[in-house]
Chains A and B, each alone.
Chain A
Amino acid sequence: MPSCLKLRIRLNEGSLDLRITAKGIGEVLPHEEVIPTHLDRLKLALINSTFQRNPIIVDAASGLILDGTHRWAAMRDLGYRWIVVCEVDYSNPLVVLDRWVRAYRHVESSLAEEIAKEFEAEPVERDEIRNEDLVLETPSTLYRVSCVSVKEAFAKLRAIEERLLQYGYAPFYVTGDYKSGVGKRYSLFLIPPLPSKSNVVEFARGGSLLPPKSTRHLVPARPLGVNVPLKLLSNESLDFEALSEILRQRNPVLLRPPVRLDRDYQELLLYFI
């Protein structure tokens, strides 16, 4: 029975299948840690809500959470047994794995150099950098932090973040064309390694969680507003037929990006209204 609603979205570059269904709260795999303040805020919102408004995005094959770790953790902590998910095929090239670059303001160049030295980082040219490298970038120099594995690179990323925090520097998470900000808005970038998709699944299966906001998954289409009653998700066994009818009760509309709702969306939205 567990199949609920399979939706195929045609895009210019190909098509993407979304399957909206529910998974046991323990059946999905987080791969990142949560930010405690963000988690607390979400828990409070859930306590005051009667619905799970939006499904989290997971890989159909492995159950890996691609987007929605905080919502999943909030529901787990509040005792829900099920969570509404939108399954996608992670191996589909339209699902892109990117990273969140940490951007810092007003970091003295002497501190950047000190950190580079402490973490055995060496200056490199841009074309020498590989995806799996952990990189520090100042307006004048590009440093590669010496690591033997991607796992170690993430461990060092966490250590450098903590060190900067000790000095009172909190990061801004930026994406895309971050380089335009070097020396203008930001004085230091900490660029996490970009693991492969299989690396991410491996880490999650092995139970080693990456720091919060290590990965950024770009899914070209997502469902919103499914509004599944939370009451249904607290039962020990889930009535999939009821869930299926609840999903069919609503009328989805396609919204082409960009759209601003609770945040800016650059992907195609299927809003169940």
Chain B
Amino acid sequence: MRRDYLLAFRVPEKPPTEAVSKAMREAGAWVESRGALLGGWDYDESEGFILVHLKSEEAEIEQLKAAFAELVSESLGQAVESAVISPQGGSYVKAQGILPSPSVMGFLLRVSHQREAKCDLTGNEVFTLLLFYMLGGDTTRVVLASSFFDLDPDEAEAALHKLSGRYIDVERGELLKPGEKLLDSLIRDLRARPVAGERALLSLIDEEYRTEDFSMDKLARSLYLSGVPYRYIPEIVKQVAGTLRGRRFVSRRSLASVVRSLIEDMDRTDTALRFYAYVHALDRVYVLRDGREERISWSLLRGIARATLGKRALKVPSALAEALAELIADRIREAIASEPWRSEGVTLSEEELAGIAEDAAPLVSRAWAELREADPRECARIYKLRGRENLQAAKGTYDFGERKDLILRGLHLTTSGLLLELGVLPSNYIEQNLGVLRTMLKSRAETSDEGIRRYISLALKLARSPTIVSPRENRQVLKWLDELIKLEMG
């Protein structure tokens, strides 16, 4: 079970807060890759004293403390010493976190404003029941945290008193059946749902009569990336969706004109011009190949993306190459859209394009960057090991937000490890990795793959499970997680 600890360090040369902040970020990323969590830190610059809030397994805290000090020392360029924080001479003490993880906090903050009465309970009592459930049945935490959600501690105490014996068991810190039943329906009702938007897929025809898939998501992304203010975007998307309703094809030229006109209605300066330049940016880009200038094309971008990602001598899934090609295109568009009055063409060398691709590649595959110096088999072993550490840690935490983070990190690491073992470059996206794994297994009918097949099924369920779960969903998630950890993979 993960616990909260406060660790103390002393930095003799008292570096500025910015340097300590960077060191904390780096050390925090390291501990988090091992299934622990950096909850926060505080630095007293005048004393050179750092306090660090870590969540970790008790057995690992000493090791983490030493590693943390080493990482911070390395980042700050000076030796960081453990400081005494307990009168017995220890450099860490057990602590008790009060507030939940950002995901749970966010959910509670959202719903704290819509306290509706349910069954025989008032809005405050229902909210207190939610707090009790989300804070692990710890009434001390419920009363202490209540004020952060604009609930007076007196009201929280009174609500706990009323809930006790009927909805909750205060002594055991557990929900009683009626409490579970109420939360099962309440939590599902309180979840935000995406508005049923325009999902129809259209085909976009460019000036050279090539077609590509188009959706309102793509339009919203282009608007945002071209610098159109966010407040105009929902209305533009709505109007375009209305204009295109019932159609299967749209030419890029007419679509860009409609959008440009809508922006001009809303913003009378140069925003429309920038959008137009962004959409047509690639039309002005040429690539110098074998001494000849060639208009940039998607096939060229995909080729460069594939060549870049292929440098690690692993199979490159087409979705991964596509994602990198999109990123390269975005970077070129952004650079050109910032100069909308420039009408002449821009010529890039193949090396320049390759440079952009190399720079963007870690954004689609972190493993690609790490494999620059590591052997794929060793990398796979480490990914799977750390993946399991994260999944184990997920089992030992009752904070739903922390647990989901650990599950996703664990799944990303284990899927990456499995793909590397199969000679495939993993992506930064879990669902993409699982999709590739499933496709690969389809072509092999080996019984030894049964474990991986079950793993894929469980991993998808876990990855797509809600972060904030009702009591019933919670039991299901724990069951899946348990089975996934026990699975013998490959």
Binding site for B on A (CB under 8 A): 5-10, 15, 17, 45, 48-49, 53, 225, 227, 248, 250-256, 258-262, 264, 270-273
B242 in the interface (beta carbon within 8 A): no
25 pairs from A and B in contact (CB 8 Å cutoff) = A5-B147, A7-B153, A8-B144, A8-B157, A9-B144, A10-B139, A45-B46, A225-B42, A227-B42, A250-B40, A251-B97, A253-B4, A253-B97, A255-B6, A255-B93, A255-B96, A256-B94, A256-B96, A258-B86, A261-B49, A262-B44, A271-B51, A271-B95, A273-B6, A273-B39
B152 in the interface (beta carbon within 8 A): yes
A101 CB to closest chain B CB (Å) equals 21
Q: Total A-B residue pairs with C-beta atoms closer than 8 Å?
A: 92
A249 CB to closest chain B CB (Å) equals 10
17 more contacts with CB within 8 A, not counting A252-B99, A254-B96, are: A6-B152, A8-B143, A8-B147, A8-B157, A45-B46, A53-B44, A251-B40, A254-B95, A254-B98, A256-B96, A258-B87, A261-B51, A261-B85, A270-B98, A270-B144, A271-B6, A272-B42
A264 touches B87 (CB 8 A): yes
In the complex with contacts A5-B148, A6-B153, A251-B39, A49-B46 CB distance below 8 A = yes
Interface hits, B347-385 → A, CB 8 Å = none
The 9 A-B pairs at the shortest CB distance, nearest first, are namely A8-B153, A273-B40, A254-B96, A253-B95, A258-B87, A273-B53, A6-B147, A252-B98, A8-B143
Question: How far does the alpha carbon of A256 sit from the alpha carbon of B44 in the complex, in Å?
Answer: 21
Contact residue among B98, B139, B153 (Cβ-Cβ distance under 8 Å from A253): B98
Question: How far does the alpha carbon of A268 sit from the alpha carbon of B96 in the complex, in Å?
Answer: 11
A-side contacts of B314, CB under 8 Å: none
A-side contacts of B49, CB under 8 Å: 261-262
A253 touches B147 (CB 8 A): no
A-side contacts of B157, CB under 8 Å: 8
Question: How far does the alpha carbon of A197 sit from the alpha carbon of B4 in the complex, in Å?
Answer: 38
In the complex with contacts A5-B148, A6-B153, A271-B6, A259-B93 CB distance below 8 A = yes
A259 touches B86 (CB 8 A): yes
Question: How far does the alpha carbon of A36 sit from the alpha carbon of B99 in the complex, in Å?
Answer: 40
Chain B: number of interface residues, binned into ranges:
35 or more
B318 in the interface (beta carbon within 8 A): no
Question: How far does the alpha carbon of A160 sit from the alpha carbon of B453 in the complex, in Å?
Answer: 86
Interface hits, B53-103 → A, CB 8 Å = 53, 84-87, 93-99
B68 CB to closest chain A CB (Å) equals 15
B198 in the interface (beta carbon within 8 A): no
Name the CB-closest residue of A to B96: A254
Name the CB-closest residue of B to A4: B147
In the complex with contacts A10-B140, A10-B143, A259-B93, A17-B153 CB distance below 8 A = yes
A-side contacts of B212, CB under 8 Å: none
B-side contacts of A15, CB under 8 Å: 143
A-side contacts of B86, CB under 8 Å: 258-260
B47 in the interface (beta carbon within 8 A): yes
Question: How far does the alpha carbon of A260 sit from the alpha carbon of B139 in the complex, in Å?
Answer: 27
A260 touches B85 (CB 8 A): yes
B43 CB to closest chain A CB (Å) equals 10
B41 in the interface (beta carbon within 8 A): yes
B85 touches A259 (CB 8 A): yes
A7 touches B42 (CB 8 A): no
B-side contacts of A271, CB under 8 Å: 6, 42, 51, 95
Question: How far does the alpha carbon of A270 sit from the alpha carbon of B85 in the complex, in Å?
Answer: 15
Name the CB-closest residue of A to B147: A6
Question: How far does the alpha carbon of A15 sit from the alpha carbon of B93 in the complex, in Å?
Answer: 23
Question: How far does the alpha carbon of A261 sit from the alpha carbon of B157 in the complex, in Å?
Answer: 32
A-side contacts of B42, CB under 8 Å: 225, 227, 271-273
A-side contacts of B97, CB under 8 Å: 251, 253
Question: How far does the alpha carbon of A272 sit from the alpha carbon of B93 in the complex, in Å?
Answer: 15
A273 touches B51 (CB 8 A): yes
Interface bits B147-167 vs A (CB < 8 Å: 1, else 0): 110001100110000000000
